Amino acid sequence: MIYYLFDIPFSLLGNQFSLNLLSCQLLLDQLTEWHAVASWTWDAQDETCGICRMAFDGCCPDCKLPGDDCPLIWGACNHAFHLHCILKWVNSQTPQAHCPMCRREWQFKG
């Protein structure tokens, strides 16, 4: 049995996450099976969202499934939050919202 483990950091639409790819090759007399298992995690410095306090690997309290439907988003100051959480905060603040962590003016990271 041969295992390959890849850890590939990559960026998609400005978001940062790691893809862990575990491939397993089963060798008997010849190649009979090939399994590929992949998992991913967000590359955020904290483990939980500073607003809802839920894990980044989970989703915000209004969502059921982590992933595309409940993404993380980074501010220009590099603090990350669930997109849904920071939007609730930003939309409640007029005229200018500040980052909940560092109080700098909130701007989405371009």
What are the residues binding another protein (CB under 8 A)?
50-54, 60-62, 85, 88-89, 92, 98, 100-101, 103
Nearer to another protein (CB atom), residue 18 or residue 93: 93
Q: Judged by CB, which is closer to another protein: 24, or 51?
A: 51
Q: Which two tokens stand for residue 101?
A: 């962590």
Instruction: Report the sign of the C-alpha dihedral through residues 80, 84, 86, 87, in that order.
Output: positive
Q: How far is the CB of 12 from another protein (least distance, A)?
A: 26
Least Cβ distance, residue 21 to another protein (angstroms): 33
Q: How far is the CB of 68 from another protein (least distance, A)?
A: 20
**Contact present, 86 and 99 (Cβ < 8 Å):** no
Handedness of CA 9, 14, 15, 19 (dihedral sign): negative
User: Which CB, 62 or 105, lies closer to another protein?
Assistant: 62
Q: Which residues pair with 36 in a beta bridge?
A: 23
